[in-house]
Amino acid sequence: MTPVVKIVKEWSPAVVNISTESVVMMQAHPLLGQLGVPSEFNTMPMGTMNLKSVGSGVVISKEGLILTNAHVVQMASRIYILLSDLKQAEAVAEAISPEDDLAIIRIKPPEALKPVKIANDVFVGETVVAIGNQLGLENSVSAGIVSGLNRNILSNGKPILTGLIQTDASINQGSSGGALFNLSGELVGINLAIVQGANSVGLAIPFDKVKKFLQNYRDGKLNAPRAQVPQNDQGAQQPNAVRIKIQ
């Protein structure tokens, strides 16, 4: 019964699996103009497509509030939650902050949930445990150390996410929104991404940014929760979302 095993046994129930459905418009490719197709037809809607994706979330209240990444749910038309006991529920978005890449969703839990405790500090070199829905594999666990602090994600040379935790704990597609715990069972970060082309360089949103986001939520400072979904010409709904590029 190692410290990592104890963390997993006690706190994995606080990490949920998220699956989403999004309805997007399909358009003809502009290069069709090179084939003689009139320009007015090159970008006209050609129908809709249902896209599905997976992610992770962390329980922050026993009443059913769940914290995740904004990019996991912001384009979703429907959000589904799978709890650790395999019970399922549909969720609605409560608050989304693309700038922080954080979101809160809500479910009606079948029973009281166990919320995480949020850490007050994090140190380079301390052991951390990542739990999430890696590659669609429910509640996958990896462990490592905090490799660095105050890492930034840049887009066109400009920072879009700052102050991130770097860890060598494995974080793969589907891990986004999952938990990064210390050995005291406290949430030190929300798993974000792994740097493409690198080995064992994962990133997480740190506890202090999580606390500020939650305080803004409590104070009513966040924008309307769900993206507006206007009707397209075929009557289907298309999410209108802000895109975040993660490098």
DSSP string, 43-78: SSEEEEEEEEEEEEEEE--TTSEEEE-HHHHTT-SE
Q: Cα-Cα-Cα-Cα dihedral of 193, 142, 52, 229, to 10°?
A: -50
The set of residues, in sequence order, having a beta carbon less than 8 Å from that of 44 and lying 6+ positions away, is 27, 28
* 128: helix, strand or coil: strand
Q: What is the pLDDT of residue 237?
A: 34
Per-residue b or e along 147-172, where b marks 16 or more CB atoms closer than 10 Å to that residue's CB: beeebebeeeeeebbeebbbbbbbbb
The winner for highest mean pLDDT among 109-123, 132-146, 154-168 is 109-123
- Is 100 among the catalytic positions? no
Q: Specify whether 71 is catalytic.
A: yes
Instruction: Using alpha carbons, select from 23, 6, 5, 67 the residue that is nearest to residue 192.
Output: 67
Per residue in 88-101, pLDDT tens?
999 999 999 988 99
Binned at pLDDT 50, 70 and 90, residue 116 comes out as: very high
Distance CA(13)–CA(181), nearest Å, equals 13
Residue 219 among the catalytic residues:
no
What digits encode the pLDDT tens for the residues 170-206? Answer: 887 778 899 999 999 999 999 987 776 667 889 999 9
Q: What is residue 111's predicted lDDT score, i.e. its pLDDT?
A: 86
pLDDT for res 136? 64
Output the six-digit token pair for 136: 């669609």
Among 22, 77, 97, 101, the active-site one is 101
Tell whether the model's pLDDT for residue 30 goes beyond 80.
Answer: no
Give the separation between CA 126 and CA 123, rounded to whole angstroms.
6
Mean pLDDT of 130-157: 85
- pLDDT tens string 158-171: 888 899 999 999 88
Domains of the chain by range and CATH? 3-11+117-208 (2.40.10.10)
The residue annotated as part of the active site, out of 22, 71, 147, 170, is: 71
